[in-house]
């Protein structure tokens, strides 16, 4: 990125961090844009140059999370079992949450904010649907399948994202996090891996027989 792009990204990151932490601590309805810009040390005009509203901060955060998941799947080694490739892909945001004790606590507050605020949860579900489309397309490309004709990419993407959802729900349940989300996602994939890999083998065998 150019110097100007890096500066813009730095400002966006600082605004996002300030907004998410204020929202997570005080609650979505209690936080104003004025508080966010005061915490970030920027003007209100600057805020609206990057975001349309405080809700838009969360939406963009979720969009970037989905981009990271798809990007990780795209660079997984050729020939890697789908269960392994998909587990690494959906683990990207979870590992980012747990790479430092301070990050883990902040991330947990943000997850609870999104899952427990109806308006934000609704936006999460919208982005989650887009993640499903993106993972389906990337997995189909990876396996040389037609996502419009083959059921496997859509089903596999859905299973992977369900494992992601269950991990977040389990991790954020109650008032104190008692389980490690990295361990939870690994355990979830232990359950679904046989179906993911067996399904891919059946699709591959079917394609080979047609040829």
- Can you say whether residue 146 is alpha, beta or left, with left for phi > 0 and alpha for psi between -120 and 50 degrees? beta
Task: Give the three-state DSSP class for 41.
Answer: coil
Provide, rounded to the nearest whole percent, the portion of the chain with pLDDT above 90: 55
pLDDT in tens, 15-60: 888 898 899 889 999 999 999 999 888 899 999 999 999 999 988 8
Instruction: List the structure tokens of 94.
Output: 């979870």
Q: In this structure, are 177 and 108 located in the same domain?
A: yes
Q: In this structure, are 176 and 107 located in the same domain?
A: yes
Q: In this structure, are 164 and 61 located in the same domain?
A: yes
Q: In this structure, are 130 and 163 located in the same domain?
A: yes
Q: In this structure, are 131 and 170 located in the same domain?
A: yes
Separation of alpha carbons 76 and 92, rounded Å: 12
Residue ranges making up the domain that contains 200: 54-210
Q: In this structure, are 36 and 69 located in the same domain?
A: no
Domain count for the chain: 2
Q: In this structure, are 69 and 103 located in the same domain?
A: yes
For residue 176, what pLDDT is reported? 60
């Amino acid at each position: 990125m150019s110097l100007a792009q890096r500066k813009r990204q730095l400002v966006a990151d600082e605004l996002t961090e300030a907004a998410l932490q204020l929202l997570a601590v005080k609650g979505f309805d209690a936080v104003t844009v004025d508080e966010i810009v005061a915490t970030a040390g920027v003007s209100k005009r600057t805020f609206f140059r990057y975001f349309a509203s405080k809700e838009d901060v969360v939406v963009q955060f979720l969009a970037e999370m989905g981009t990271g998941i798809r990007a990780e799947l795209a660079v997984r080694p050729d020939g890697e079992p789908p269960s392994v490739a998909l587990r690494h892909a959906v683990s990207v945001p979870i590992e980012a949450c747990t790479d430092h004790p301070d990050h883990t606590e902040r991330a947990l507050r943000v997850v609870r904010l999104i899952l427990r605020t109806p308006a934000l949860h609704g936006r999460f579900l919208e982005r989650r649907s887009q993640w499903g489309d993106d993972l389906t397309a990337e997995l189909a490309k990876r396996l040389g399948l037609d996502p419009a004709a083959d059921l496997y990419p859509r089903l596999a993407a859905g299973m992977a994202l369900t494992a992601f959802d269950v991990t977040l729900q389990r991790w954020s349940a109650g008032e104190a996090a008692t389980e490690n989300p990295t361990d939870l996602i690994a355990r979830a994939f232990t359950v679904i891996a046989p179906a993911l890999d067996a399904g891919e083998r059946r699709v591959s065998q079917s394609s080979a027989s047609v040829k």
